[in-house]
Amino acid sequence: MKNSSSLVLVGGLGFVGRNILEAIGTEAGFADLAPSVIDDLSNPAPGHDALDLPMHLGGYQSEGAIDFLEGMEAGPAGRTFVFLAGETRVAESKDRPLDFIEANIADPSRFVMQAVRPGDRFILVSTAGALFDGTFEVSVDSPYCPKNFYGATKAAEEMILEKLVALRGGTFRVVRLTNVFGRYSDNKKSAIHAFTRAAIEGRQVFVNGDGGQSRDFIYAGDVGRGIATLARKLAAGEETDPVNMLGSGRSTSLMDVIAAVEKAAGKPLAYEKVPAEDLLATEPRDVIANPRDVRVLLGDGVTDLERGIAETHAYYAR
């Protein structure tokens, strides 16, 4: 393709990666993006073996991954990395802090120093909620104030990789995600996914605390489209912001999520509230992204929560 740009998804067979690939494969506006994947298959979404893409199936830290990149055609518009790898289990970060430093800071730093060339673009997929303490609406210029160790490692990763990519002669961008849900989430255990599967299977679930804690939930299809949009803009040389936000700009309580799941399932969800004080102490009470920030990449195309949950229900019930 005349203006094709090589798009390397590191960790691209997981939940978010598969939604990026879905957007690229189904929307004509992304036809100039030529995706490839590096993934160690530690958490792949179903159906990855049917994808017809250049792939390295192994750790991104391995020599094989670097050899794979060296053998790739960059395309006339060069290379863009979307970095999705890392440790995300928030509750475990206080018990395994050194593992989180290795997974979210040391390993990505080594990869940048080995893989990034002058002229490359590097998009780090980061987190919105974990970087802040949940006491205010988060925006792209909010100061870091993580409430848990996971968030601290992601804040450090953003700052360190920004400087390392610059040292390598590349362009660095961050995309911060709020709470993502939707298709290709078979391995996810977060609230919407757990509640939806339980509704289908007729199982009981546990709600931590009073259920009044709220999150900014964003449909995974919107995330895929938003990240692909940023990659396309970077490859085309268009102006983009250093830090980007993907969310809905709306905060929804867990009890309202349950109501939406029950509507999609057409039946009540059995649940029990449990105190979970230690767990809740490590998490923000409320998360909401600035609505203006999320429109930069998504415009007015944010999927309504009820529609997104209905799509997620249909995906699991297939």
Q: What angle do CA 181, 41, 283 make, to 5 degrees?
A: 40
Q: For the chain, list the domains and their CATH numbers.
A: 5-180+218-246 (3.40.50.720), 182-216+249-288+303-316 (3.90.25.10)
Per DSSP bridges, beta strands 252-253 and 214-215 are: antiparallel
**Alpha helices (runs of H) in 54-124, residue ranges in sequence order:** 63-70, 97-101, 107-115
SS3 content of the chain, % helix, strand, coil (to 5): 40, 20, 40
Tens of each residue's pLDDT in the chain, 318 residues = 445 889 999 999 999 999 999 999 999 999 999 999 999 999 999 999 999 999 999 999 999 999 999 998 777 878 999 999 999 888 899 999 999 999 999 999 999 999 999 999 999 999 998 899 888 999 999 999 998 999 999 999 999 999 999 999 999 999 999 999 999 999 999 999 999 999 999 999 999 999 999 999 999 999 999 999 999 999 999 999 999 999 999 999 999 999 999 999 999 999 999 998 887 777 888 999 999 999 999 999 999 999 999 999 999 998
pLDDT at 283: 82
Task: Tell me the CA distances in angstroms from 191 to 2, 181, 182, 249, 267, one per residue in order.
Answer: 44, 9, 11, 19, 18
pTM confidence score: 0.95
Can you give the pLDDT at residue 78? Answer: 86
Q: Please state, in angstroms and as integers, the Cα–Cα distance from residue 178 to each residue in 172, 250, 299, following that order.
A: 20, 10, 17
